[in-house]
Copies of this chain bind each other. A is one copy, B any other.
Amino acid sequence: MRVLKNTWYMAAWDDEIQPERLFERVLLEKHILFFRDSRGTVRALGDRCPHRFAPLHLGVHCGDSVQCKYHGLEFGIDGRCVRSPHGNGVIPQAANVPAYPTVERYGAIWIWLGDPTLADPATVPVFPLLDPDVYAVGHGYLKAKANYQLEADNILDLSHIEFMHPLFATEAVRRGKTEASQDGNIVWSKRLITNDHLPPFLEEIFGLSPGSEVDRWLDCRWQVPALIELYSGATLAGRPRSEGREAPGVHFFTPETEKTTHYWYAMCCPKALGPQAQDVAQRQTEAVRGPFVSEDLPVVEGQQAMIGDADFMSLRPVLMPGDAAAVKARRVLEKLIAAEESQR
């Protein structure tokens, strides 16, 4: 599949990869084996044994290596075969699997599936929302039967809220003004709704007294490959944002295949809120899962079903004002992919 190669992709939440367990996931159509080494560091190897192509994830976790279930070849954290129990123990030169650079940061595992010599842990994007000193974080995972760009489009155009998510919609949503902007390869979609009244559960989330008139914002920050921070907040009408409260979150997407997507989401609650912050973050995460699964997913998967094998742009989508940010994001990605291709 045609994707950006030299970039960090999210691979898992950190708790998806348990000590002494082998974990398998397909990312960008590659079969990847994940495990923690003896120091707890996450390692990612090609999941296909170079000998007879058995899946290594069916094998045995051996601290700093993985033993293939089929004939016992062991592969170290660099993907090289470190032990053959056969014959005189000689290890063929080619007995290696790819080792993919990984970084564990922000409670997530990041993987570099491109040229490993270009993988710099310092270039994992910075996500202040996932800074454990500042935010308590609740997180979840979904798999969608749709291309990852359809998922990113979904978050980048939140004008869909009033139609798709009646519980979150207010009569003022359609008065919202959205601005798309770009800062280098970062794309912003900022939506402001002034003089709104929120449903009680949103008033509670934003710490507002019942019936408050508020200004409400929904600001998305997108970066490659499909990593979105969503700042959702409200303040009393006309007052500065700093006096209000935010219920921010993140939406991270990685292609499994051309038509399926790993979707990791998190809701973030400022620890300044006090000891209940983690509980609040967790409850918000659980609260958004319902609409994600029952409202967004059928539509996004329905889009994919309608698109089928066609290229999205070849179907000439009609552009609406709300698409501005999604279009910018697709252009940034296309530009970077084309640049990679021209270098080969």
Which residues of A are at the interface with B, using a C-beta cutoff of 8 A?
Answer: 31, 47-48, 50-55, 58, 67-73, 84-87, 92, 94-95, 150, 153, 157, 159-160, 162-164, 174, 298-299, 302-303, 305-307, 312, 315-323
How many monomers of this chain does the complex have? Answer: 3
Residues of chain B within 8 A (CB-CB) of A303 are 52-55, 70
What are the nearest 6 A-B pairs in CB distance? A87-B321, A55-B302, A72-B163, A48-B306, A50-B318, A53-B306
Instruction: Name the residue in A86, A153, A174 with the highest tally of chain B Cβ atoms < 10 Å from its Cβ.
Output: A86
CB distance from A71 to the nearest CB of B (A): 5
Given the known A-B contacts A50-B318, A52-B317, are A71 and B302 also in contact in the complex, defined by CB atoms under 8 Å? no
CB distance from A23 to the nearest CB of B (A): 15
Q: With A and B bound together, what is the CA distance between A72 and B176 in angstroms? A: 14
CB distance from A62 to the nearest CB of B (A): 12
Q: Are A51 and B320 in contact (CB under 8 A)?
A: yes
Q: Are A160 and B70 in contact (CB under 8 A)?
A: yes
Write the chain B residue with the least CB distance to A176.
B86
Residues of chain B within 8 A (CB-CB) of A31 are 306
Q: Are B306 and A47 in contact (CB under 8 A)?
A: yes
Given the known A-B contacts A55-B302, A58-B302, A70-B299, are A50 and B317 also in contact in the complex, defined by CB atoms under 8 Å? yes
